[in-house]
Amino acid sequence: MNPNVPHFISYMFVLITAATVYMVYYGVRLTDKKIAGKVLLIIIAWLILTGILSASGFYLEVEKQPIRFFLAAPAIVLTIIILFIIPSTRKFLKGLSLEVFTYLSAIRIPVEITLWWLYLYNQVPVEMTFEGRNFDILAGITAPIIAYFVFTKKKWSTNIAYTWNIVSLLLLVNIIAHAFLSLPTPFQQLAFENPNWGILYFPYLWLASFVAPVVLFTHLVSIYQLRKGS
């Protein structure tokens, strides 16, 4: 763990990651129990692998080429892209629960609090927090409202959910861009006085290698379903 950050923040982020795992498993299980079990095993294996590597300081060696961080986050994003390319998996994606996946975005609230704490300990730049250029917490706050009125009670039109997903996706892309451009790599364009070292440590690497890609995945699935009129 990062020696410059109190342990309680790290423990909280482990719980955030665990909650994300459960929500993904639960959402997939509603569609297919057998696939849900396989997905859970793959997720656990991925978290163990990236967790061991980040705890060993593997991702902190940013001078190595190719940049080791790119072996984590882009790998799972590529997997998501492949899921949308294969016809058989696209059919499966159309059956996933938008209600569960919309509620899942509420995880962004504790995530943003964690980023703010990391900023207080000079581990991430202010641009990555709600005090700077990160407004992703708004998506987290509104997620339960959208999920409840659109999918649980079915009182609001799905067009509202569609618009919300578009806006929330843009908010997510915004913070991902700021996080990437703040990393202490040759691609850094922001926050030179306080680079984004925080997410290269265990367990915060899971934000880039799992939690954020999962949220990205839920938005893409929701937009895909709602656009198709599922």
**7-63, pLDDT tens digit by residue?**
999 999 999 999 999 999 999 999 999 999 999 999 999 999 999 999 999 988 877
How many distinct structural domains can be found in the chain? 1
Any domain includes 105: yes
Residue 74, pLDDT above cutoff 90: no
Any domain includes 114: yes
Any domain includes 2: no
Any domain includes 156: yes
Instruction: Give the domain extent around 223.
Output: 7-228
Any domain includes 1: no
Which of these ranges, 27-31, 93-97, 166-170, 182-186, has the smallest mean pLDDT? 182-186
Q: How confident is the model at residue 90 (pLDDT cuts 50, 70, 90)?
A: confident
pLDDT digit string, tens, across residues 107-116: 999 999 999 9
- Within the chain, residue ranges assigned H as helices are 7-29, 33-55, 73-85, 87-93, 98-104, 108-120, 137-146, 158-182, 205-206, 212-228
Q: Which own/partner pairs from 89-92 qualify as long-range (CB within 8 Å, at least 24 positions apart)?
A: 90/224, 92/31, 92/32, 92/35
